[in-house]
Amino acid sequence: MPRPLCATIHLDAMQHNLARARACAPASKIWAVVKANAYGHGLERGMRGFADADGLALIELENAVRLRQLGWVKPILLLEGFFDASDIPLLAEHNLNPTIHNYEQIKMLEYTKLYRPIDVHLKMNTGMNRLGFRPEAYAAAHARLAAIPGIRSITMMTHFANADELEHPRLPIREQLRRFRVGAEGLPGQRSLANSGGVLHLAELEGELPSDWVRPGIMLYGGTPGGKSASDYGLLPTMTLTSEIIGMQQLQAGETVGYGSRFESTGPMTVGVVACGYADGYPRHAPHGTPVVVDGVRTTLVGRVSMDMMAVDLTPVANARIGSKVILWGDGLPIDEVAHAAGTIGYELMCAVAPRVRVVEGRLGTTCG
Ligand SMILES: *Cc1c(COP(=O)(O)O)cnc(C)c1O
């Protein structure tokens, strides 16, 4: 029998969340973002779960090629574009749309003969200060790209720094939109603007965010970019990480648990040992008090997470036994809650699920083992 730790991927929930994104942005086409192994769900599962999307967006060129080999015929967007001129023939061969965000990329395109035309996204830096041309330099970059014979279309793109917080004090989404409008003024082409935060706030931004394309990621996986919980937005969890209790210990007052002896019991208590540790992707920095569900009952982590195991307080779990089912996150325990307790975000937890964790597919409501 395999180790009881297992991630169940709910393709039905992925489809549901994509439909939610459509409902939020009815006038836009959707790039479903499947970077980082579809946020830890598996690239091929991402492709099947988001089969209804208008395109798939990701970072890794080799995975974009793999999507073509797996039969994806709709558009593919490379969110960081390409890194070397030798990548350019692959773009044409597999009809991949690169994001162009610096002059080096433009130069490479100018010096490489494209034997088939390509569509590109041209990125504007509207304050994120990661990738892209500043608004005042944007039109010139656009003109240089437009002069390259093999460029078929240029979609104008930017990325929001604080889409999860509409009234952010430093850089509100409306200020980024204003800069985008200034930089893109008078230029032809489609627009590609919103990540999940932008999509979820589209209604509040009303007519201010007309976007031909939107680029949701985390919301499609039942996580939120921040603030509210996924269920407030009608989103469903797409990954449920489950395991079992594989050991139990009766502690006396004053005894400690795990490495560093960081947790000390104040009275007699039962702790359960769960087969899941940081080598599985569970965050080692998750503190005492991080929520865990055992046998349907909510309880908490105690002591330090070790490589293969962690301990939980079984005091509230009346019928706990070896083999009791444990939910670490997902259906029954929102990943955002676990992430919040551990001082991180759901994105990081999903992406970090380790290769040794068994992964199965199952409808929402089912888990493996
Ligand atoms: C990752 C990414 C997205 C998706 O972001 P979420 O917050 O997961 O919705 C959209 N656009 C770009 C450029 C990205 O890199």
- Yes or no: is domain 11-226 CATH 1.10.3720.10? no
Q: Which of 29, 113, 259, 347 is catalytic?
A: 259
- Distance from Cα 195 to the centre of ligand 1, integer Å: 5
Q: Whole-prediction pTM value?
A: 0.96
Q: How far is the CA of 239 from the centre of ligand 1 (A)?
A: 19
What pLDDT does residue 165 have?
Answer: 83
What is the Å distance from ligand 1's center to 194 Cα?
Answer: 8
pLDDT at 72: 98
Q: What is the pLDDT at residue 219? A: 97
Candidate of 30, 33, 211 to mutate for ligand 1, largest count of ligand atoms within 8 Å of Cβ: 33
pLDDT value for 207: 74
Query: Could you tell me if the CB of 79 is within 6 A of ligand 1?
Result: yes
Instruction: Identify the pLDDT of residue 210.
Output: 81
**307 is known to lie in a ligand binding site:** yes
* Domain 239-361, CATH homologous superfamily name and number: Lyase, Ornithine Decarboxylase; Chain A, domain 1 (2.40.37.10)
- Give me the residues paired with residue 155 across strands: 121
Residue 278 a catalytic site member: no
The tens-digit pLDDT sequence of the chain (369 residues) is: 899 999 999 999 999 999 999 999 999 999 999 999 999 999 999 999 999 999 999 999 999 999 999 999 999 999 999 999 999 999 999 999 999 999 999 999 999 999 899 999 999 999 999 999 999 999 999 999 999 999 999 999 999 999 888 889 999 999 999 999 999 999 999 999 999 999 998 878 877 778 999 999 999 999 998 767 899 999 999 999 999 999 999 999 999 999 999 999 999 999 999 999 999 999 999 999 999 999 999 999 999 999 999 999 999 999 999 999 999 999 999 999 999 999 999 999 999 999 999 999 999 999 986
> What pLDDT was estimated at residue 203?
79
Please work out whether the CB of residue 99 comes within 6 Å of at least one atom of ligand 1: no
Nearest Cα residue to atom 15 of ligand 1: 79
74 among known catalytic residues: no
Nearest CA to ligand 1 atom 4: 217
Catalytic residue among 35, 123, 221, 278: 35
Measured in Å, residue 325 CA sits from the centre of ligand 1 at 34
The ranges assigned to domains in the chain are: 11-226, 239-361
